[in-house]
Structure 1
Amino acid sequence: MRPVVSAHSQSSTVPALHLPATAAQPSPFATGAAPTMSSREIADLVEKRHDNVKRTIETLVERGVIVRPQFEDEHSTDALGRSRTERVYRIGKRDSYVIVAQLSPEFTARLVDRWQELETQASRPALPANYAAALRELASTVEVVEQQQALISEQQPKVEFYDQFVKADGLLGYQEAGTAAGCYPNKFCNWLKIDHLFYRGKKLMPRSQFVRRGLFEIRPELDADGESHLRGWVTAKGVEHFAKHAPDNIRITSREVKP
């Protein structure tokens, strides 16, 4: 009876920096593909000869019960020093259960345990194969972190701007919007009247082209008598736009801002 091969039966020595001293053997899930089990592993699990397991696999493929598996040729040397090549199939999870059920259904529990080991290994992050690979991975990680930090620095003024001035609904009155845009409120309103606003009765309303651009919104509101009237509001997008494009002569200079 062959001993059952366990994923934990082999040990490896890991030097400083927690990197393997030599390149690891190719893993069927190193590239993120679904884990597979070799036909040799299945033979060990069910305590059958490998050639018998392969014949069973080929028979099931011919009958259309399982898909045709991928394979790899393993090269080895026998006890007499002769070179030999043996084909080894890579089997997916579903088909492995079909094969074991055909060969030795009493060993299904062993198969379940082995798949748990394989899937646990597949979920672990792979260590770099050698020191050069580790250095390349470190350099790549540093570059990504630097790019993220640069993006955060670029976006931070905009985030602080919105947090400070924009209400929960994202709308501000004309004078509030002027203050948020760093302008004198009254001068800001007079500047808006030149091009962006017009009077409808006694109400200043935004022109339709600027509403379509998302700089303003028009919403109804109730007056003290309970009557509904339309009123224009500056959107968060509008505040940002005016903060960039308002003329210098209506802006509050830094010397005029009290600490």
Structure 2
Amino acid sequence: MNTLVAPSNTVTMSSREIADLTGKQHKNVLRDVNVMLEVLEKAGSDLSQAVRYTDERGRTSEVRLDRVLTETLLTGYSIPLRHRVVTRLAELEKVSRHTISMPSNFAEALQLAADQAKQNASLHQVIQQQAPKVQALERLAGTHGSICITTAAKQLGVGPLKLFKWLSDNRWIYRRAAFSAWSAYQPRLTAGLLEHKLVKVGKGSEEDLKVVEQVMVTRKGITTLAEQIQGNSL
């Protein structure tokens, strides 16, 4: 497989930036650039990558050089100054260049397509794995404190009777007797998934109400349930 380097633009540096990096006055940098270009022109060098900018009076206000001309200019400067400018050129090259892998034959093209398909499949699998957690957080966002199992079923989008059965089958809740109230298994209480609360039931006057212990699902419990029952047919 061939690796192509695709530059977005030729890396260049202005005389003003060179002045900033080296701490020299811009007029002195311009002088050095002009001297260098005159010598190179007499030697027949290609100066097409040297772009001059002029002001309203026609005087050179700035010169932009490519990497070769910039490094040529720096040969007359001190080592620390050369290092600063060359380091900056390397940073500019990282921005302007990137590598592209191109298949050189049909077999490599098929392998590249297979690798991309594998990456897509892996990404899809990660999305599927994360989906229950995302939906669990959405469920959690709609709850405020502990809620009863019936309300939890609405939050989870399942039928209350089905949720009671699932909780019973998976050892979250149990009955001490056939028609007694539901109780939470101790490990679920310890884990903070369920809790017991005293609630008033009944209608009418205060005398007609009675206090009973009821299993409540915590915010943590809603999140865990959303992850565990997601995709299961209840």
State the TM-score, normalized to the length of structure 2: 0.39
**Higher relative contact order, chain-length normalized (CA < 8 Å, sep 6+):** 2
